[in-house]
Structure 1
Amino acid sequence: MQLGDYGIALLPFSLKLSEESRMEYLADYNDGYVYILEVKDIDLPVCKIGMTTRTPYQRCDEINNSSTGDFIWSVAHYIAVDDCKKLESLVHSKLAPLRQKGREFFNTNADDAYTALLSIFEKQTQIKKINIEEIVPQKNQLIRKYKSRKRKNTFKRIDSEYIELLQLFASLLNVKGRPFGQLNKPSFGMSDGSEGVQWNLSVSTDTESIRLGVNLEGMKYSDWPISKFILSELDNPKIAEITSNLKNPGNIFICFSRDAWQVTSRPAIIERHLGGKEFSLAEMDAHQWSNTLKEALGCLNKESNYHGRAKQTVTLENRPRSGEQVRVMEVSPHLTIWSPLSLSGNIRENLENKIAELKPVYDWIKEASASES
């Protein structure tokens, strides 16, 4: 019997069973593995926990050859049991507070996840460990051969310099780090994981550009800090003072953008830039800053004292297959101040200097977003 990745037997089309018989037939094949994958070559506090009725190594290869994988993964741990679906569900349920929304990714390292997996397994009695040999399909059970097409590996293997950079980012800021984006896509990066003002590092592999930035999203967090920042700057702007104390304000850029929300996703919109464009701090004068802040405030709900999203008419960059391209959507403002980072020379020294360069900006946004509005 050959089994699919979720314990579903591959039946020939000529085999006709009643629905009840088919479900009973499939229910007998739950032998498999619960596996834990870790990010290859990078020490990140994130792992993937899943199940398979093949081997964890086959499943890992499949994920790494998929265009939807976020990282290059390697097998860290696994356990063979007689009901891998039930154990996976149990583990996912118990570790729900660590789970990234809608995904099988968990914000913990693979070793700690394995310790938790063993503890969860030992506290239940229904699921049993089995020998690996029992999972391998027997030849006399084989109903039909399943032909799978080989998929080209679409990953762009990231340089050792990028690996070092991500590790240094977390180390120098003394944070665990929260990865975002996809390593096999044109961009990826890491934030410090804070709720509110964040440090973040973004890499564009297409343009080979790297940005270190300070970020404040239009999220509720602790009482809408983006609202507090905007109102504080409108009342008593500090941007000119901050800019005057920076060594190279022409190389630090500020972008107030408009996020449009479609449930939890943020589709690209044409009216993204508030103020019309991205500015260097050197060219952001008082008049432009005031106008940009007022436009940003308009992206928040005035009726709730600017503690919530507003609704505006926006234009989607990509024409949808169904629905209107111009539509009314919930929006919120998003502040990012960033500076380009070079990998030439000593990477650690470059990152240390860039963090020091942006530290006054971070402190300014942190203080203003925490003030009473």
Structure 2
Amino acid sequence: MKEFQEKNIGYVYILEVADIELPVCKIGMTTRTPYERCDEINCSSTGDFIWSVAHYIAVDDCRKLESLVHTKLAPLRQKKREFFNLSAEDANTALLSIFDKQSEIKRLTLEEIKPLSKEKTGTKKHKKRAFKCADFEYAELLQLFNSLLNVKGRPFGQLNKPYFGISDGHQGVQWNLSVSVDTGIAALGVNLEGLKYKDWPISKFILTELNKRRIFEIIEKIENPSSVFVRFSRDAWQVTSRPNIVEKYLGGQEFMCSALAEGKWEETLREALECLNEKNNFQGRTKQIVTLENPPRNGEQIRLMEVSPHLTIWSPLKLTGNIESHLRNKIEELQPFYDWVKGACE
């Protein structure tokens, strides 16, 4: 009986479509973690959406609860699929209501379910920790990012891409947390993309900083400038995708704050400004000749494409010991940069 109960310990999860607001969600169960299951679905190349974890509940019988939820929400279910025609928020409200109206299934805390999940997922050995599956440590990192910044994080990227992670979802200056798929290295960053948002904030930032280069005032105030890096990228646009290009780094590289020279910073800012449409007061993309890193099967490797500048200020994040303390300290370290970039855009 105990063995049967343990086999049913797990989660009922709700997935939402990443980066697009659609009134559709996926409701399922897993005896591992919702993040592992989500990664598995995204890597399965089913041709559907890229999903992210919106909500979940840990229980002692996830199979029974999933069946109960699917039955109750059957009128909203897409034929022969675990997709439901309602938002993740509405689905979570329904899930909690259905759970509260029954008495057989018991809710578990993360502490109660964590040892079992680690035992089940810890038998596989990997040559390097690359977050191929989002385990408890990464799930904890996501939750801490949301709670410490008081946001509902918005995922970006995919596990088969160079980077994936989560941002605060704000239009304009953003906090983000990224993970390198190849190395498993995590970084907290302040991010400003070359997108319209409201009046092209990237344009305001560049013009303001060219007028008075305040970055050096910020660098002088931080305790360890060698741990913070500044990168201005050139994004090339192919409809909504951004293929990798040889001319990615504006200024030719990313810079350690402790080694950034004023002349090089001005040169990089002017190069970034050239990625915006001067005829439209720098509020829009311009076109430049770029070189695709991966030669296409059909078409030219060197192309004329729309481009825009992309600012990232980042610092590596320690993932051992007290992760909450590390993340909190990293937010405090980068807060002056966030305030500076945000202020320059207003």
For the criterion TM > 0.5, the same-fold answer is yes
Cα distance change, pair 210–195 in 1 and its aligned pair in 2 (3 A): same
> Which of these residues, 127, 141, 146, is aligned with residue 170 of structure 1?
146
Q: How far apart are residue 63 of structure 1 and its match?
A: 3.6
Q: Distance in 1 between matches of 2:228 and 2:273?
A: 23
Cα deviation, 1:170-206, whole Å, max 9, x if unaligned, reads 0000001101123566632100000000000011242
1:1-373 correspondence to structure 2 within 5 Å: 38-39=14-15, 49=24, 63=41, 66-67=44-45, 70=51, 77-78=69-70, 79-81=73-75, 84=78, 91=85, 108=89, 110-112=91-93, 156-183=132-159, 187-370=163-346
Residues of 1 paired with 2:311 and 2:51: CA distance? 25
1:316-352: per-residue Cα shift (whole Å, max 9, x none)? Answer: 1111121111110000000000000001210000000
Conservation of the 8 A alpha-carbon contact between 2:43 and 2:159: no
Tell me, in whole angstroms, the C-alpha distance in 2 between the residues paired with 1:205 and 1:304.
Answer: 38
Pairwise CA distance, 1:91: 3.8
How many Å apart are 1:211 and its aligned residue?
0.3
The alignment's C-alpha RMSD in Å is 3.5
Aligned partner letter, 1:190: I
Change in Cα spacing, 1:109 to 1:360, as seen in structure 2 (3 Å) is: farther
Which protein has the larger Cα radius of gyration, Structure 1 or Structure 2?
A: 1
Give the number of the structure whose residues are more often helix, by fraction. Answer: 2
Gaps of 5+ in 2: 1-11, 31-36, 57-61, 97-130
How far apart are 1:80 and its partner, in Å? 2.6
AA aligned opposite 2:298: S
Scaled by the length of structure 2, what TM-score is found?
0.70
Give ranges in structure 1 of 5+ residues lacking alignment: 1-35, 41-45, 96-105, 116-154
Distance 1:316 1:184 in 2: 19
- Cα distance in structure 2, aligned partners of 1:369 and 1:198: 12
- Provide the aligned length of Structure 1 versus Structure 2: 274
Residue 70 of structure 1 deviates from its aligned partner by 4.5
SS in 1 for 2:74: strand
